[in-house]
Structure 1
Amino acid sequence: MAVVHFNRTPAGKDLQTTISELTGLPPDAVDIVIEHLTSLWYDAGSDEYRYGDDEPWFVPKSSMAAQLSHAWREMEESLHSDVRYFNPKAQELLDTVFGELSSDCDKEGKPVVIDIGPGTSLTTLYRGRVFQTEKALIDALRSPERLLGPPVAGIGAAGRMNGQGQPAFYGATTPEVCIAEVRPPVDSHIALAAFEVIRPLRLLDLRRLATVELPAGTSLFDATTRSATQRRDFLRTLGNRLSAPVMPELQNRDYLVTQAVADYLAAHRTLNVDGIIYPSAQSRHPDELPAGDNIVLFRKACDVSEAEGSHATAEVSLWEYEEDGPGKWFNPSILFMDQEAPRHEQRSMHPSLSLKKDSIVIHEICAVRYCSKPYPVERVMSFNDRYDG
């Protein structure tokens, strides 16, 4: 109506420009297409055109993800209330969403499944553990390959991408993100270490899903393009779905879906995905560039070199004492012992990670700072307040 009454410029592009850009046809052919469309849009019963008497203008549809978004919500409900394992509804939808993952690219033509490890730009991951007692910290530092790495099978807590007792390596691309993600209390300590990625690994990059594009040369007149476009638009929202902050009280419920996705990707034979890289929710500050990203490595890719066995591999001291007095100060040190684990404790494996033994840093948490957005509560006057007296 703004166009009709106030002579404003319509949004989008006129029909001739739209047809020309979509098809690449010469002007004479475009005129023929427009004439044919005009006849299709005419309703003889009402003697009116579908888009009115004036030539219509068109804008691209912003998203076609509604159908898959609805299916995703149904899958979530099914996992929560019907069948958690071997859920056919989940299997069918995940096949649709991730089936072509290996060939997906972002707007810059970069694949959404990336390589890390030797010869790539990402060869080091950081991982930290929170300790609230000195004894627990010393015990972990005595076996840092095993106790600063992922928990052994059967004892770990459930996480965003793993079930309870299922090993997974949760790390970060920077120490700052690592500290933010473990959410330490004041007066606790974090033992933070760097791990080298020692063999090639493949990660699904949720950051690139936000700008995934259809393959070059995709025709808008192909019958399969509609479903491909629906999938593309849904993938652009998937990163936020999988990496959004989850309240502690809702972890058991909300982690169920992300755990199902991780299991699907880890077990898929042709995708061959070893883990996921995704934005950090805890370290994200408004109007600032991201400090780094989170990385989770699935069970098949989270073994740490020299982590087998139960024997201590290092001697640890946390304090340095005054020679002739009661004074002491915190000065942690570690001495790695050169010894071979007993043969019966060795196991055949292909580790993905190796602890950088000179990288261990202990952070004492002195204070915690929050970034908040205040919303004042407006007082609404009651009827008696308004008309009292």
Structure 2
Amino acid sequence: MARLPRDLFDRRATLGPCKNGGVGFFAAQIALVLKLLRGVEQCRVDERRSEPPTNPARFNPTAAAEIRYSLPSHLALPEGPNRFSFHTAKLWSLPGSINGAIGSEEDPPAVPAKALATAEIVECAGKALGGDVHQDEADELKAKMLCHACVGEAYLSGEIAREGECAKCSYCGKTRRCYGVGDVAERVQVAFEQHYIRTSDQPTSWQYTLMSDRESSYDWSRDGEPITDAIANAAEIPQEAAEDIQQILEAEHDDFDSAAMGEETEFSSDSQYEEKGTSDRVWQEEWRNFESSLKTEARFFSRTAARHLASIFDGIDDLRTQSGQPLVVDAGPGTDFHSVYRARVFQSEDKLEEALCRPDIHLGSPPASVAAAGRMNARGISVFYGANDSKVAIAEVRPPVGSQVAVARFEIIRPLRLLDLTALTAVSVTGSIFDPDHAGRMERAMFLRTLSARITRPVMPDDEHFEYLATQAVADFLATESSVPIDGIIFPSVQAAGDVLNVVLFHKAARVEALALPKGTEIKARNGHMEEDGWEEDYEVIEEVPPAPKEPAAEAKPKPGWPDFAAMAAMPWEPHDPDWRDASLRVVLDSVTVHQVRRVEFKTDEFNVSRRRWEKREPDF
């Protein structure tokens, strides 16, 4: 049940102009009275006036307006009976501030021209109540028309030009495609909710401290720009149109409780706004949930994980960096990324010689039966890891001292599309704040800038089994489920510094073209030979091919009939190749080198360890 606050009555307040916010709490209480007295049995106003004194700075207690209220029986007071006859509220003011009175709609009093403060109080109270007069004004403003030519913001102007109706613009007078100002106000409201924030109308405690410091020259000013200027600048519309939109939105956001507390509401005429930063907090939380679900819930069949990855990578080929570089780059013949280096570590001479004989087999992607789990592949899934530099390729296999590393360069022989994670850090999204999806794209772009670091962060060997699950799932999704065709990923090296890159080619693009060797070829490799001064290391591969068969002299033979079963039997039989993939790589035989690991260098950050000793003491309490 509504209750009328007793401290409303016989309150004295110094009133200022309503436009400057001086009416504050007292105007709000008048609004409260008017709201509670809707359906009142009787509301009478007795007016007493006195001539203003010659000195306006002197307080005049005789200038007052007396308002008498009679509440109906269904309204209750905090104390006493449920019905009361007359209570008096006296409004005291500076001379000349109140020379009028507040009356009912049925019997409005005559208000002299000098009664500005009273009129402003009534106006503020009416706005706080969302009264009929104020709503009518808002409806009139909504009915105005705004043409696309008066809107400079490209997205909003284009939408009006496409979907608006032909009407006479209320601001330029031209007949063009228009939106109602009420419709434009709705779009402004959505845009400001997503991209702007209302700044505080009070200094912070730290700013108050500076202001109260006598030795400080700090002068506080509110952040942001006035609401009408913010609307005009965001939509690039005339100032008059911005003011109309502000009034419409202010009327829709009027809140009686906030007005009663003297609090500023959204789109208030005195409010100021500034653009707010983008946050990827939701995306980061979803990524953590994605990692956790792979580790603890479902590893192989997870619709939640698939939906999350789809939201991240769908349409990623349309994104660009700030310099215009695409996130999905072309690789292969005629491109900047046309070859990669791959290394393999060996600790026995026999296996090394075997690899030198057939680098297409032993230096390429491993067979599925021996494919170990890696950052971008699960165990048993054969992929091709490489680098754009031979030294980086060696560093990535982390060879022990005393081992030998074989390195070869592989040409990319067919067009491939690779996702460049190094470009994610500079991804940029352009668009309009009036596009409802723009905020989501900005949040996604902000998350993508951190995704490269998440995928390539160093992982300890003991943690690889769990910590590689997320990156393996990403690679599997991009290789098989992504709406964007992607053959591999370019990512920064964690083992080498500088402008060096790693690349992983997914299973579908990891096949190496077999060497063209005559049938019956025997291949031998050796790592050196004996000289007078001792053993000299000299890696060499020798191919022994059979002699070319001599073709017998052609003899005239009768033309066989069809089918010629004898000829079919003599045809060479080729075993069926179960590998359906097209070859993507070709080893460059002249590029094969062997590196003997003599020492390993590390780059570290050194920290001193301090050691202290304290005597144990029992606490006093």
The normalised TM-score by structure 2 is: 0.55
Deviations 1:36-77 (A, max 9, x none): 67774873121122699986463531x421112111111111
CA shift in 2, pair 1:13/1:292, >3 Å: farther
2:513: which partner in 1?
Answer: 305
Given the superposition, is the C-alpha separation of residues 36 and 207 from structure 1 closer, same or farther in structure 2, using an over 3 Å criterion?
farther
Q: Residues 8 and 272 from structure 1, CA distance in 2 versus in 1: closer, same or farther, beyond 3 angstroms?
A: farther
Query: Match for 1:124: what amino acid?
Result: S
| Residue 380 of structure 1, CA deviation | 4.0
Instruction: Tell whether the 8 Å contact from 1:125 to 1:172 is kept in structure 2 after alignment.
Output: yes
Q: Does 1:91 align with 2:298?
A: no
Q: Alignment partner of 1:359: what SS?
A: strand
Query: Greater CA deviation, 196-205 or 31-40?
Result: 31-40
Letter in 1 for 2:501: D
Deviation at 1:321, TM superposition (A): 1.6
Return the TM-score normalized by structure 1: 0.86
Q: Which residue number corresponds to residue 315 of structure 2?
A: 100
Determine whether 1:330 maps to 2:546.
Answer: no
Could you tell me which amino acid in structure 2 is paired with residue 344 of structure 1?
P
Structure 1 residue 152: deviation in Å? 1.1
Unaligned runs of 5+ in 2: 1-203, 212-217, 549-571
> Would you say how many aligned residue pairs link Structure 1 and Structure 2?
375
Q: 1:281 aligns with which of 484, 489, 494?
A: 494
1:44 to 255, 259, 268: 259
Q: Secondary structure at the match of 2:590?
A: coil
What is the DSSP-based 3-state SS (H/G/I as helix, E as strand, rest coil) of the residue aligned with 1:179? helix
**Correspondences of 1:90-239 after superposition (within 5 Å):** 90-214=305-429, 216=430, 218-239=431-452
Between 1:141-150 and 1:42-51, the stretch displaced more is 42-51
Does the alignment pair 1:25 with 2:240? no
Q: Which has the higher contact order (CA 8 A, sep 6+)?
A: 1
Given the alignment of the two structures, is residue 268 of structure 1 paired with residue 481 of structure 2, yes or no?
Answer: yes
Kept after mapping to 2: 8 A contact 1:12/1:59:
no
Report 1:64-79 matches (<5 A). 64-79=279-294
Q: CA deviation at 1:3?
A: 4.7
Q: 1:292 Cα shift?
A: 0.9
Which residue of structure 1 aligns with residue 128 of structure 2? none
CA contact (8 A) 2:331 2:416 kept: yes
Q: 2:267 matched to 1:58?
A: no
Contact 2:511–2:582 under 8 Å retained in 1: yes
Measured in 2, the distance between the counterparts of 1:249 and 1:44 equals: 61
Q: CA RMSD in A?
A: 3.2
Query: Which residue of 462, 467, 475 maps to 1:254?
Result: 467
> Is residue 2:558 matched to residue 1:343?
no
Q: Distance in 1 between matches of 2:223 and 2:306?
A: 39
> Which letter does structure 1 place at the counterpart of 2:599?
A
SS at 2:369 equivalent: coil
Give the counterpart of 2:501 among 279, 285, 293.
293
Residue pair 1:193, 1:359 contacting (<8 A) in 2 also:
yes
Deviation at 1:248, TM superposition (A): 0.5
> Which one is further off, 204-213 or 371-380?
371-380
In 2, the alpha carbon distance for the partners of 1:10 and 1:316 equals 81
| 1:367-386 correspondence to structure 2 within 5 Å | 367-384=599-616
Report the residue type matching 2:401 in the other structure.
V
Q: Is the 8 A contact 2:521 2:545 kept in 1?
A: no
Amino acid at match of 1:350: D
State the AA in 2 paired with 1:292: V
Q: Secondary structure at the match of 1:366?
A: coil
**Structure 1 residue 317 and structure 2 residue 526: aligned?**
yes
1:352 equivalenced with 2:559 (yes/no): no
What one-letter code is carried by the residue in structure 2 that aligns with 1:75? Answer: F
The worse-fitting range, judged by mean Cα deviation, of 218-227 and 267-276 is 218-227
Q: Which is further off, 298-307 or 268-277?
A: 268-277
Query: % of aligned pairs identical?
Result: 33
Shifted more, 132-141 versus 253-262: the winner is: 132-141
8 Å Cα contact 2:314/2:483 also seen in 1: no
Cα distance in 1, alignment partners of residues 388 and 545 from structure 2: 30
Q: Decide whether aligned partners of structure 1 residues 21 and 320 sit closer, same or farther in structure 2, where only a CA change above 3 A counts.
A: farther
Cα distance between partner residues in 2 of 1:90 and 1:25: 44
Which deviates more from structure 2 when the two are superposed, residues 258-267 or residues 330-339? 330-339
Structure 1's unaligned 5+ residue stretches are 285-289
Whether the 8 Å CA contact 1:142–1:312 is kept in 2: the answer is no
Letter in 1 for 2:330: D
Distance 1:206 1:10, change over 3 A: farther
> How far did 1:222 drift?
2.8
What is the CA-CA distance between 1:338 and the residue it aligns to?
5.8
Which residue does 1:287 correspond to in 2?
none
SS of the counterpart of 2:589? coil
Bigger Rg, structure 1 or 2: 2
C-alpha distance 53-220 of structure 1, shift in aligned 2 (>3 A): closer
- Selected match of 2:225 from 11, 14, 39: 14
Counterpart Cα distance in 1 of 2:453 and 2:502: 13
